[in-house]
Amino acid sequence: MTIAQQLQKAIDECGQTRYHVAKHADIDYYALARFLDEGRDIRLSTVQKLADYFGMRLTQPIRRLKK
């Protein structure tokens, strides 16, 4: 599961409105909406704020390079 998918799942399952999440995570509501609705990229600082809000530690599996 990608970091974006982890965030989207947390937002979808939290039971709060997008506005509530954005306000309490101290991020721009429209950036959050574009991320969720259009699959747009968000800044790393925004990702960190969302992770902090949800108490998440986001990781992605390490892929080994082929020799």
Could you tell me if residue 59 is inside a domain?
Answer: no
User: Total structural domains in the chain?
Assistant: 1
The 10s digit of each residue's pLDDT in 42-62 is: 999 999 999 999 998 877 667
CA-based max dimension of the chain: 47
The 10s digit of each residue's pLDDT in 1-58 is: 777 888 888 988 999 999 999 999 999 999 999 988 888 899 999 999 999 999 988 7
Could you tell me if residue 21 is inside a domain?
Answer: yes
Could you tell me if residue 60 is inside a domain?
Answer: no
Residue with tokens 């259009």: 38
Structural domain of 28: 3-54
Dihedral-angle region of residue 26 (phi above 0 means left; psi in -120 to 50 means alpha; beta otherwise):
left
